[in-house]
Amino acid sequence: MKIGILGCGNWGSVFGIMQHHNGHVIKIWEYDRDRARTVNETRNNEPFLIGHTIPNEIVIDWKIDTILDNVDIVVFAIPSQVLSDVIDTMQNMRALSDYYLSLVKGIDVNTLRRPSEIINQLPQARGKIYVLSGPCIANEIIRGEPTAAVLVGSDPVGVQELQRQLTTNVFRIYQGSDIIGVELGAAFKNIIALACGISDGLGFGSNAKGALIARGIVEIQRLGVKMGADAKTFWGLSGLGDLVTTSFSEESRNHTLGRKIGEGKILERARSEMVMIAEGVPTAEAVKKLADQNHIDVPICEVVCEILFHKKSPQEGIRDLMTRSLKHE
């Protein structure tokens, strides 16, 4: 198949390389003209991809219409907060594809829309939208380490075909049916990963992280079910699987940002030290708004927001969680 990937960051380039080796024809969009030219000429995508080069057969271009021309699959691998702008850019394009696949993990902080809801604003994508999510640390995948993900979408036949086309010998894809649950789990888990990073930065051990993960999945499930998701989804690859991976991995950008904050750095300083975007920051604000709208209690998310946006100290945040009124599990 011919695949056009929007986003030349860490996951976008790794997904493209993986699918190139899987026999597909790959084009990748880099929005910055100068950077696109440099990556195309040198095949070097640092700092997003360290120690690996992009195969010569993969086209890199800054012109989005070039990337989308005559492709079977459009893949979105861009930050959640710029997805709406990209969809607006695509509105006047005539190129049609069979599949519109989101790898985006986040919620738009302004509209509170999930990625698939944003993509659905594109008329030619309606009825052809799919979401792929799971424990997918890109640096592990490029090293050839195995993982699995879940694929959900508008059309069960399309899900089955994409599963067949995109599965590799180290990237196993399962079929699912709960788009809401998969996207909410993928987004919300970044907030819990931030909390786990903060815990590590404070010097706490596995007990604290285990408690955060266990109670975090309760918060994710509580809000997700209220918004129409299936509770079981949050115990699968896009829920618990992704949550555990992101909360423990030293290569997780959300865990890394949280650790820096736990060590005493303010959000702006911690962000300035990172190359890649930690989606958990805007998502924390978005999820807090969704929880308030739906009258759902999300104490870990609330504390993370207080630490990130209202200068509460991490120590105070932990104390707030530990001194809440006692209740049944």
Q: Tens of pLDDT along 209-237?
A: 999 999 999 999 999 999 999 999 999 99
- In the chain, how many H helices and how many E strands? 15, 8
H-run or E-run covering 28: strand 25-29
* CATH number of 211's domain: 1.10.1040.10
| 73, 190: one domain | no
Same domain, 258 and 119: no
Which residue among 120, 146, 175 closes a domain? 175
Determine if residue 7 is labeled as part of a ligand binding site.
Answer: yes
Q: Are residues 161 and 183 in the same domain?
A: no
Between helix 179-201 and helix 314-322 the angle, nearest 10°, is 110
Co-location of 57 and 123 in the same domain? yes
- Number of alpha carbons in the 13 Å side-chain half-sphere of residue 32: 7
Q: Is 189 a catalytic residue?
A: yes
Known binding residue 22? Answer is no
pLDDT at 170: 97
102 is in an annotated binding site: no
Tell me how far apart the alpha carbons of residues 219 and 192 are, in angstroms, rounded to a whole number. Answer: 10
Domain final residue, candidates 119, 145, 175: 175
Is 327 annotated in a binding site? The answer is no
Same domain, 51 and 122: yes
In a domain, 90, yes or no: yes
Say whether 189 counts as a known binding-site residue.
Answer: yes
327 in a domain, yes or no?
A: no
Picking from 175, 190, 217, the residue at the C-terminal end of a domain is 175
Question: Would you report the helix, strand and coil content of the chain in percent, each value rounded to 5?
Answer: 55, 10, 35
Measured distance CA(250)–CA(262) in Å, rounded: 15
Please indicate, yes or no, if residue 237 is contained in any of the structural domains.
Answer: yes
**Is residue 149 located within the same domain as residue 209?**
no
2 annotated to a ligand binding site: no
Q: Are residues 163 and 86 in the same domain?
A: yes
92 is in an annotated binding site: no
Side chain identity at residue 251, one-letter code: E
Specify whether 164 is located in the same domain as 198: no
Asked if residue 61 is part of any domain, the answer here is yes
Catalytic residue among 27, 128, 189, 288: 189
Q: How many C-beta atoms lie closer than 10 Å to residue 249's C-beta?
A: 17
In a domain, 13, yes or no: yes
For residue 78, the enclosing domain spans 2-175
Count the neighbouring beta carbons within 10 Å of the beta carbon of residue 263: 15
Distance CA 2, CA 19 (A): 10
Strand order in the sheet with 129-133: 59-61, 25-29, 2-6, 73-76, 99-102, 129-133, 147-153, 171-175
Q: Is there a single domain that holds both residue 164 and residue 278? A: no
Distance from chain centroid for Cα 14:
14
Query: What are the structure tokens assigned to 100, written together?
Result: 């519109």
Q: What number of other Cβ atoms are within 10 A of residue 36's Cβ?
A: 19
Is 328 part of any domain?
A: no
Model confidence over 178-192: pLDDT tens digits?
Answer: 999 999 999 999 999
Please check whether residues 188 and 307 belong to one and the same domain: yes
- pTM (predicted TM-score): 0.95
Residues 133, 238 contacting (CB under 8 angstroms): yes
Planar angle of CA 99, 221, 210, nearest 5 degrees: 110
Domain membership of residue 329 (yes or no) is no
Domains contained in the chain, number:
2
Distance CA 199, CA 139 (A): 24
Residues 218 and 199 in one domain: yes
Are 143 and 187 found together in one domain?
no
Chunked mean pLDDT (size 10), the chain, 329 residues: 97 98 98 93 92 96 96 98 96 91 97 98 97 97 98 97 98 98 97 97 96 96 97 97 95 94 93 86 96 97 96 94 91
